[in-house]
Amino acid sequence: MQTRITKGDNGYKAITDHDLPNGMTLRVSTRKGNTYLTTTASCHKKDGHFETHRLYQDYHKTIEKLSARCTEKTIRTMHERALQDFDLIVQDALNHYNTPEYLAKHGKETA
């Protein structure tokens, strides 16, 4: 698990990707939104150089929101705090794809 911290037009952001056994990639990202610094976890399906996140179908969860300046130190601290519960986030994402409601509507995710 490797975290990338970069600086763009909207300030610093931190991204950590982790491959899941169902062929999806779990991404934990911390960045500046419109008003808050936000840490989110979401799943994407990789196809070559492209990633797809299916709105209202794939896993997406806000982990933390914070009203603070977007400094590298703040982004790093917030991201590391979220990664302390990484095993719980992974389990929550996998559970999302195995709920009876998800399976009835979308079927089983395969690699």
What is the residue-level pLDDT of the chain in tens, covering all 111 positions?
A: 799 999 988 899 999 999 998 889 999 999 998 889 999 999 999 888 899 999 989 999 999 999 999 999 999 999 999 999 999 999 999 999 988 888 888 888 765
The CA distance from 22 to 6, in Å, is 28
DSSP alpha helix (H) spans, the chain: 72-83, 86-96, 100-106
Cβ atoms of 17 and 36 closer than 8 Å = no
Q: What is the pLDDT of residue 35?
A: 87
The token pair that represents 33 in the structure block: 């939104």
User: Residue 58's pLDDT is what?
Assistant: 93
